[in-house]
Chains A and B, each alone.
Chain A
Amino acid sequence: MADDILAQITEKLLIGETERVVALTEEALSAGLEPLVIINQGLLPGMEEAGEKFSRGEFFLPHLLIAAKGMQEAMALLEPELSLRQETPEVVGTVVIGTVHGDIHEIGKSLVGTLLSVNGFQVHDLGVDVPLERFVEKVQETGADILGLSALLTTTMIGQREVIEALDEAGIRDQVKVLVGGSPVSRKWANSIGADGYAEDALGAVEVARQVLGLGV
């Protein structure tokens, strides 16, 4: 019975039936399954398979993102249960991410956030047009390992440098790795503003995030 529910969670996650994933997660909890078991044996195997299928070209972004949505919605149910038990799922690292002030471009940033979260990072997405001080506050509040700064315009890229300067002023620059991204962003720009890393695309961002934390790729 338990195995059956877990297998169904994996299956429904993979085919993008988010509502079923949530219902099955509730069912699993009422059946007395431990939240960590639901995560590790139901949800994560589905996410891993989705990731593998994406790498093989069998899955496309909509498949991957709807699976991630299923995972996120199930996690919203499981998180209160985990904190009741004082348990935490294994987290690879904590990430604060957002698009810098003056820039309202969302997709690239959200794609990176989602891919990081399905790869085991805990992601705090601050959204778009994020003021400098909000990044600094959130890094301080969460003790984030990584700060991701997105910008799509040549005119707003400057905001990435400003956030790094603000981290410096707050005296926390050495506590967090800063990754920058966005269409006009290049390695040269990343180096020139003292960022710790940069990636061309969302999958690259996951690799870089693992690298800067000294994890294998």
Chain B
Amino acid sequence: MRPMLKLLDDELVRQIIDEAFGLLMDPGVRVHNDEALELLTEAGAEVDLTSSIARIPESIVRDALQTAPSEFYLHDLDGESVVHYAGDNVHFDPGSAAITILDRKTQKQRDPTTEDFVDFIKLVEMLPQLDAQSTAFICKDVPEEIGDLYRLYLALNFMRKPIVTGAFGKDTWWTMKELLVTMAGGEAELASKPIAIFDVCPSPPLLWSDITCQNMIDCARSGIPAELVSMPLAGATAPVTLAGAVVQHAAECLSGVVINQLSQKGAAIVWGGSPAAFDMREGTTPMGAVGTWMIDCAYAEVGKALNLPTHAYLGMSDAKIVDVQSGLESSGGTILAALTGINMISGAGMMDFESCQSFEKLVIDAEIIGMAKRLVAGIEVRDEPIALTLMRSMGHEADYLVSPHTLKWFQEEFYIPSEVIDRCSYDGWQSRGGKSAADRASDRVDQLLGSYEARPLTDELRVELRRITTVAAQDFGMDELPPLPIA
């Protein structure tokens, strides 16, 4: 049996969806994008061009929900379908778009560079618990204006896993598409085996800004999946009640599904988000708050009820160093997300809300993810009868360690962590240096980076990716990209 967390009963889910439909008519959604407003007008929504407010009738939303697929795959660069957005499947990727990294030596935040980003991509490749890459942070050694596409460029040079990404501009999205098309070997190839998904983020409450709305439209028309990242801040930009925040989330996401499906029927769109229970003392957006987790898990239940694939930013921490708080907060979010059956759970490595990525935290979080995946795999009956025959044959002997039955099953029954998780005797721990989890994590980062082997990439492809990115950089005053750190 797969264990599942349920926070909402069916009646409450129905009410949340009904109220979301109600919000789409009154007060409606603000859409600061002309193309989307045209699509909505054509479809029969009531659009006020002066205020940019669209009132979307339930029938239009129902139609969009009919055509939005309930499942799709992301492929790795070898063409394998490794991420299946569907049902209660869970997959994990690192939290994305951090603006700093925790320096590996000083353990203090600093500006990330090209070299850091490449190392991070390699590390994600080496961690089997992570199913996808993400454009995890923004390199500060290139102009801000190409911050989005430059991350994708670097990642494509070093990754094999599919990637969760996002654009910061309308034009940069097209450069990112060009990079992906180049990598996939053509537009049709990219559309039939997508290797990337773009986050598109409505602004709370009930607003689609021009850039992200255009990104969503362009994704739909290019056959590239998009992931809605609605982020109600309960008590600040959304109702303070958790259920109220979920209603707002539902309305924002439903409007996204409508615009997406009006752009291209059947386009892959994911019901996702990054809400937070606003911190009433500091005025911050805690990712480690139980209220945040509950909003996430509840909205995912709503998405499932609508038969859509799901996503959430969970498994992050608000801690500033890799410490007890970072471990406890990341565990809580990760385990609840897995129990909810959220298809893509983004957050590993992330700390200081969604601002800072840490290599050490990433390898610790990978262990949490390993445990969470084991948990949701559930308890299975491996033999019939479960133990009767085996135990009768063993009698009162405690020799299970040498039993073939143990050898057959132990690696499936147990999750076996790396040495980041300490399970030695006290003396053993001391003799290995008496290190903290963070220090053991640091050792593991070194070890994994040392054993990374690049996926072969032709020189031709490498040159073409660099050419595309250089053209974009030159628009913003950078003639030559930083050198690509190739070992």
Contacts and interface: CB of A to CB of B under 8 A. Distances in A.
Q: Do A and B come from one complex?
A: yes
Interface of A: 57, 60-62, 104-108, 111, 153-155, 157-158, 183-184, 188, 201-202
Nearest to B30: A104
B141 to A, nearest CB: 13
14 contacts: A57-B281, A61-B280, A61-B283, A62-B235, A62-B280, A104-B203, A106-B237, A107-B237, A107-B283, A155-B145, A155-B147, A158-B145, A183-B355, A201-B284
B283 A154 contact: no
Interface string B184-217: 0000000000000000000100010100000000
Given A61-B280, A202-B283, 12 more contacts: A60-B280, A60-B281, A62-B280, A105-B203, A107-B233, A108-B283, A153-B168, A155-B145, A155-B147, A155-B169, A184-B99, A188-B111
B282 interface: yes
Contacts of A107: 233, 236-237, 283
Interface of A is mostly: loop
Given A104-B203, A104-B209, A183-B355, A155 B144 contact: yes
Interface in B130-165: 138, 144-145, 147
A54 to B, nearest CB: 8
Nearest to B209: A104
A154 B280 contact: no
What 3 A-B pairs are tightest by C-beta distance, nearest first? Answer: A60-B280, A155-B168, A184-B99
Contacts of B144: 154-155, 157-158
Contacts of A61: 278, 280-281, 283
A33 B237 CA distance: 38
Nearest to A155: B168
Interface string B103-141: 000000001000000000000000000000000001000
Contacts of A155: 144-145, 147, 168-169
A108 B353 CA distance: 15
Contacts of A201: 282-284
A184 B144 CA distance: 12
Contacts of A106: 237
Contacts of B209: 104
A154 B167 CA distance: 12
A182 to B, nearest CB: 11
A193 to B, nearest CB: 12
A154 B207 contact: no
A154 B148 CA distance: 10
Contacts of B282: 201
Interface string B349-362: 00000010000000
A217 B328 CA distance: 37
Nearest to B210: A102
Contacts of B147: 154-155
Contacts of A108: 283
A158 B111 CA distance: 16
